A and B are shown apart, each in its own frame.
Chain A
Amino acid sequence: MRTRLITALVAGLPLAASAQSQFNLTQGVTDISNRVYDLHMTIFYICCIIGVIVFGAMFWSMFRHRKSKGRKPATFHENVKVEIAWTIVPFLILVGMAIPATSTLIAMEDVSESEVTVLVTGSQWKWHYRYFDHEVEYFSLLATPRDQITNRLDKGENYLLEVDRPLVIPTGKKVRFLITSDDVIHSWWVPAFAVKKDANPGFINEAWTRVDEPGIYRGQCAELCGKDHGYMPVVVIAKEPAEYEAWITEQETIQREAKEEEQRLLSMSMSMEELMELGERVYLGSCAACHQPNGQGIPGVFPSLVGTEMVKNDIPGHIDIVVNGKNGTAMQAFANQLSLREIAAVVTYERNAWGNDTGDIVQAADVNEYVNQ
Chain B
Amino acid sequence: MTDTNSNPAPQRPDNGRVVRRLLLTVVCMFAFGYALVPLYEVFCDITGFNGRTKNEQAAANTRAVDTSRTVNVQFITRTNSGMPWGFAPEVKSVRVHPGETKVVNFLANNPTGGNMVAQAIPSVAPGEAALYLNKTECFCFNQQPLKAGAKTAMPMQFYLDPDIPEHIHTLTLSYTLYDMTANATPDVLAQMQPAN
User: Once bound together, how far apart are the Cα atoms of A33 and B115, in whole Å?
Assistant: 51
Instruction: Identify B82's interface contact among A111, A325, A372, CB under 8 A.
Output: A325
A-B contact count (CB 8 A): 82
- Most chain A C-beta atoms within 10 Å of own C-beta, residue among B74, B82, B172: B82
In the complex, are the beta carbons of B74 and A324 less than 8 A apart?
no
User: Once bound together, how far apart are the Cα atoms of A270 and B79, in whole Å?
Assistant: 31
Neighbouring A residues of B152 by C-beta, 8 Å: none
User: Once bound together, how far apart are the Cα atoms of A78 and B168, in whole Å?
Assistant: 55
In the complex, are the beta carbons of A327 and B125 less than 8 A apart?
no
Instruction: Quote the shortest CB–CB distance from B141 to chain A (angstroms).
Output: 17
Contact residues of B: prevailing secondary structure: loop
Instruction: Quote the shortest CB–CB distance from A370 to chain B (angstroms).
Output: 9
Neighbouring A residues of B124 by C-beta, 8 Å: 204
Instruction: Identify A204's interface contact among B76, B92, B167, B179, CB under 8 A.
Output: B76
Q: Is A171 an interface residue (CB 8 A)?
A: no
In the complex, are the beta carbons of A113 and B81 less than 8 A apart?
no
Neighbouring A residues of B169 by C-beta, 8 Å: 111-113
Cβ proximity bits B160-185 to A, threshold 8 Å, 1 near / 0 not = 00000001111010101001000000
Instruction: Quote the shortest CB–CB distance from A58 to chain B (angstroms).
Output: 39
Q: Is A206 an interface residue (CB 8 A)?
A: yes
- Most chain B C-beta atoms within 10 Å of own C-beta, residue among A113, A133, A206, A326: A206
Q: Is B149 an interface residue (CB 8 A)?
A: yes
User: Once bound together, how far apart are the Cα atoms of A123 and B82, in whole Å?
Assistant: 13
Contact residues of A: prevailing secondary structure: loop
In the complex, are the beta carbons of A119 and B81 less than 8 A apart?
no
Neighbouring A residues of B112 by C-beta, 8 Å: 373
User: Once bound together, how far apart are the Cα atoms of A180 and B76, in whole Å?
Assistant: 11
Neighbouring A residues of B76 by C-beta, 8 Å: 119, 132, 178, 204
Q: Is B126 an interface residue (CB 8 A)?
A: yes
B-contacting residues, A170-225, CB 8 Å = 176, 178, 180, 182-183, 202-206
In the complex, are the beta carbons of B82 and A206 less than 8 A apart?
no
In the complex, are the beta carbons of A132 and B92 less than 8 A apart?
yes
Q: Is A328 an interface residue (CB 8 A)?
A: yes
Instruction: Identify B174's interface contact among A113, A180, A333, CB under 8 A.
Output: A180
B-contacting residues, A129-174, CB 8 Å = 132-133
In the complex, are the beta carbons of A132 and B125 less than 8 A apart?
no
In the complex, are the beta carbons of B111 and A326 less than 8 A apart?
no
- Most chain B C-beta atoms within 10 Å of own C-beta, residue among A182, A203, A323: A203
In the complex, are the beta carbons of B81 and A202 less than 8 A apart?
no
Known contacts A178-B76, A180-B174, A372-B111; A324/B84 CB under 8 A: yes
Number of A interface residues in the complex (CB < 8 A): 33
Known contacts A202-B176, A333-B82, A372-B111; A113/B123 CB under 8 A: no
Q: Is B67 an interface residue (CB 8 A)?
A: no
The chain A residue sitting closest to B113, CB to CB, is: A373
In the complex, are the beta carbons of A325 and B81 less than 8 A apart?
yes
The chain A residue sitting closest to B169, CB to CB, is: A113
Neighbouring A residues of B149 by C-beta, 8 Å: 373
Cβ proximity bits B51-95 to A, threshold 8 Å, 1 near / 0 not = 110000000000000000000101010111111100000001000
In the complex, are the beta carbons of B80 and A182 less than 8 A apart?
yes
Neighbouring B residues of A205 by C-beta, 8 Å: 125
User: Once bound together, how far apart are the Cα atoms of A324 and B168, in whole Å?
Assistant: 37
The chain A residue sitting closest to B171, CB to CB, is: A111
Interface residues of A (CB under 8 A from B): 111-114, 117, 119, 121, 123, 132-133, 176, 178, 180, 182-183, 202-206, 323-328, 331-333, 335, 371-373
Sample of 9 further A-B pairs with CB below 8 A, known A113-B169, A333-B83:
A111-B167, A112-B167, A133-B92, A180-B176, A326-B82, A327-B81, A335-B84, A371-B84, A373-B149
27 contacts between A and B (CB under 8 A): A111-B167, A111-B168, A111-B170, A113-B170, A178-B76, A178-B174, A180-B78, A180-B123, A180-B176, A183-B81, A202-B123, A203-B52, A203-B123, A204-B123, A204-B125, A204-B172, A204-B174, A205-B125, A206-B126, A324-B81, A324-B83, A325-B82, A327-B81, A328-B82, A333-B79, A335-B84, A373-B149
